[in-house]
Amino acid sequence: MIAPVTEQTLVLIKPDGVQRLLVGRILVRYEERGLKLVGLKLVQVDRELAERHYAVHRDKPFFAGLVEFIISGPLVALALEGPNAISVVRAMNGATRPWEAAPGTIRADFALEVAENIVHASDGPGTAAAELALWFRPAELVAYPRDIDRWIVAAAE
């Protein structure tokens, strides 16, 4: 058996998800998959945090619009943990462009346009660590046991 790597990743349910009353329906997907909620908050983002979060896109033509969108209303920040959580969540979210996202993914099910594509997720171990530190103070990430994990996470050999 390939030993899974336990990872943590950052998810944002963007302002369009909050305004369209989709927070619960999106959260339940991650929960039902078995991912563990280790951080959760509603945030009215300021411009500085938005620009830091999307700093990698600073030179892209859509950067200004992206920042305006992400500060246009509250969003929900989640920290999720589980085996291979980073790639699992990226796959559940679907392709950046919703019209290219596989059916059954969040973006395919709930979005049509790239600028308003409902969710963000970290794209690798480095960005996950940096984004979790950007969005959550250490004390806001909670370590706790879940009894259900014996049915979800394989025991280490």
Interface positions with ligand IDP (CB under 6 A):
57, 62, 66, 96, 114-115, 117, 120, 123
What is the per-residue binding string for Mg ion in 97-136, x denoting contact by CB under 5 A?
--------------------------x-------------
Of 57 and 146, the one with the shorter C-beta distance to ligand IDP is 57
Q: Which does 140 bind (CB under 5 to 8 A by kind): ligand IDP, Mg ion, none?
A: none
Of 114 and 129, the one with the shorter C-beta distance to ligand IDP is 114
Of 109 and 123, the one with the shorter C-beta distance to ligand IDP is 123
For every residue of the chain, DSSP letters joined together read -PPPPEEEEEEEE-HHHHHTT-HHHHHHHHHHHTPEEEEEEEE---HHHHHHHTGGGTTSTTHHHHHHHHTSS-EEEEEEEEETHHHHHHHHH--SSGGGSPTTSHHHHH--BTTB-SEEE--SHHHHHHHHHHH--GGGS-----TTHHHHSPPP-
Check if 120 is active-site: yes
Binding residues for Mg ion, rule CB under 5 A, total 1
User: Which is the catalytic residue, given 36, 70, 120, 132?
Assistant: 120
User: CB neighbours (10 Å) of residue 154?
Assistant: 12
* Rounded least distance, CB 144 to Mg ion, Å: 29
Note the residues at the interface with Mg ion (CB under 5 A). 123
Q: Which residues are catalytic?
A: 120
